[in-house]
Amino acid sequence: MAGALVDTHCHLDYPPLSDDVAAVLQRAAAAGVQQCVTIGTSLERSRANIILAQRFPQQLRAAIGIHPNDCAETTAADLATLEQWAAQPGVVAIGEVGLDQYRQTVPLEKQQAVLQGCLAIARRCHLPVLLHCRQAHAPLLEALRHIAGAWQGIIHCASGPAEFIQEALALGLHISFAGNVTFPNAKALHALVPLVPDERLLLETDAPFLAPQPVRGQQNEPAFVTHTAAWVANLRGATVEHVARVTTRNACALLRLPAVMPGA
Ligand SMILES: [Zn+2]
Ligand SMILES: [Zn+2]
C-alpha cells in the first residue's frame, strides 16, 4: 500500500454508491483511502451528503453546493438555505459550484449569478470553495478575480490550458486530478500534472463517474483513487508514497479533515 490517501471529491449520494455507503467506505479504508469528501450538486443532494457525513464521521465529510448544470431554478432563498447549512457538523467546503459550457443546460449568465452567490457564501463562512470548470476557463477566472484577495479552494477534475492552471495557482487555489488523468490518450491533461507544486496537489475520484484506466468502464468509487495516485506519481517522476504523503497532508489542512495515520 502506498500510504494514506484522501478522495477529495466523490458523490456518495449517487447510486449505486448510495445503496451501501458503509461498504464503499470499508473498501476505501482497505485500499488506504482514509478520508473522503462527498460533494453536493444541488440543494437536495447537499442535504443528503450532510446526513451521510454525520453518519460516518470517522471517514467522511461533506461539501455543499449547486452544480452549474443544476442551477437553472436556483433562487436567493436556496442560497440562503445553503449558507445556513454551511454551519452543520461535517460540512467542510462550499461546492461543487462553477461554470460549465460543455453541457449548456443552463445559460451562462444564470450560472455566473449562482457562482457569485456561492463564492460570497464561501468567503463569509470562511470555507474553501470546490470549483467545477468545463470549457469555461476564462469566465471562471473572471468570476474569481471579481472578488479580491487570494482564494482557498480546489479546481476539481483539473483540465484546461496550462495558463488556466497557472492562473488558478496564482489565485491561491489547489489543483485536483481525477480518474481521467489516467486515460492514455489524455496527453493535454498529462502535461498539466507537473505544473502543480507539491503544496497544491490533490487527488479525487469524482465517483461514481470517471473510473480510472485499470477499471475504466466500471462504476468508480473512492478506493480507486489509488490508481490515480499511481499515474500522477508517474507523470511527476515521483514515488507514489511521496504523492500520497503530500496530497493527504494538503487535503487534511485545506479541508480540516481528521488527522490520518501516516503509512497506514
Ligand atoms: Zn464537477
Ligand atoms: Zn463532481
Which tens digit of pLDDT belongs to each residue from 70-126?
Answer: 999 999 999 999 999 999 999 999 999 999 999 889 999 999 999 999 999 999 999
**CB < 8 Å & 24+ apart, contacts of 181-184:** 181/212, 181/228, 181/231, 181/232, 181/235, 182/212, 182/213, 182/214, 182/216, 182/227, 182/228, 182/231, 183/213, 183/216, 184/213
Beta bridge partners of 176: 202
Contacting residues for 238 by C-beta, under 8 A, at least 6 apart: none
Distance 137 CA to ligand 1 centre (A): 13
- In the structure, what pLDDT confidence band is assigned to residue 149 with cuts at 50, 70 and 90? confident
What is the per-residue pLDDT across 203-221, written as a single tens digit (0 to 9) for each?
999 999 999 998 998 999 9
Contact (Cβ atoms closer than 8 angstroms) between residue 214 and residue 184: no
Name the one residue in this structure whose C-alpha cell is 465529510.
61
Distance 80 CA to ligand 2 centre (A): 22
Q: pLDDT value at position 1? A: 62
Closest CA to 167 of 181, 179, 156, 155: 155
**264: in domain:** no
Distance 68 CA to ligand 2 centre (A): 11
**263: in domain:** no
CATH of residue 243? 3.20.20.140
Cα 158 from Cα 15, distance rounded (Å): 24
- Look at the chain and report how many structural domains it folds into: 1
Q: Beta strand 5-10 with 91-100: parallel, antiparallel or unpaired?
A: unpaired
Q: What pTM did the predictor assign?
A: 0.96
Distance 48 CA to ligand 1 centre (A): 17
**128: in domain:** yes
Domain that holds residue 39: 5-254
**260: in domain:** no
**169: in domain:** yes
The chain-wide mean pLDDT, for the chain, equals 96
Distance 96 CA to ligand 1 centre (A): 6
Closest CA to 69 of 25, 107, 95, 40: 107
**259: in domain:** no
Query: Could you say which ligand is closest to the alpha carbon of residue 157?
Result: 1
Q: pLDDT value at position 264? A: 46
**192: in domain:** yes
- In the structure, what pLDDT confidence band is assigned to residue 186 with cuts at 50, 70 and 90? very high
Distance 198 CA to ligand 2 centre (A): 23
